[in-house]
Amino acid sequence: MVTDYSFVPLEHDRLTSEESASRAAQFLAHMSRRRTTRHFSTEPVPRALIEAAIATAGTAPSGAHQQPWTFVAVSDPALKAEIRRAAEEEEQAFYRERATPEWKAALAPLGTDEHKPHLTDAPWIVVLFRQAHGLAPDGTKTTYYYTQESCGIAAGFFIAAVHTMGLVTLTHTPNPMAFLSQLLGRPANEKAMLVMPVGYPATGAKVPDLQRKPVDEIAVWK
């Protein structure tokens, strides 16, 4: 564990106002095209692209720079099938026993249900584990700070990277997710947070015709 950092000059490119505005508009237009889909092609995706997306996620800021995340990338068909089977069992119980009428009504327009073919269709499943605390080599626990927030930011970086590569993903949160720790052999201090299949969209893939809130509904200026 690092207890003291040396400081180095900040690398920063100062842009003109015009350049900043141009980049902002380009990035907004680019990210505005990002969509979540449940329809994946089985076409292979090179491991190097998944590595690059994970490396990008690893540049996210984190509480005390503790980087409390582990990304497990799965391409093995048998293991993906096991993840799908376990996830669908949990989802069936959720829809049958735990989902409230309000929650079911909120999900209905999006076409989600307990069937998860995307978990086997997509060439990759990337599971984000949140490290609730650190573990020293001798087993001693190390306190980690703001792990939920830190991993959430890293997930956003990952999703943006995947979109920039021309790939698609979705964020799947089976509840509970303890089966993932067992299937993927993760230690007790790591808690599964997100399941993200990654790949190319299937031919003819469709998404809900939804609208995002405009800035004046999500921003407050003082």
C-alpha torsion angle, residues 74, 69, 60, 79 (rounded to 10): 10
Express each pLDDT in 150-205 by its tens digit: 999 999 999 999 999 999 999 998 778 899 999 999 999 999 999 999 999 999 99
Rg, the chain, Cα only: 19
- pTM for the complete prediction? 0.92
Average pLDDT of the residues of the chain: 93
C-alpha torsion angle, residues 90, 92, 94, 100 (rounded to 10): 170
End-to-end CA distance of the chain: give it in Å, rounded. Answer: 41
Question: Are the C-beta atoms of 156 and 217 separated by less than 8 Å?
Answer: no
Average pLDDT over residues 17-39: 97
Q: Which residue has the higher pLDDT, 92 or 147?
A: 147
Sorted by where each starts, the structural domains of the chain and their CATH numbers stand as 38-201 (3.40.109.10)
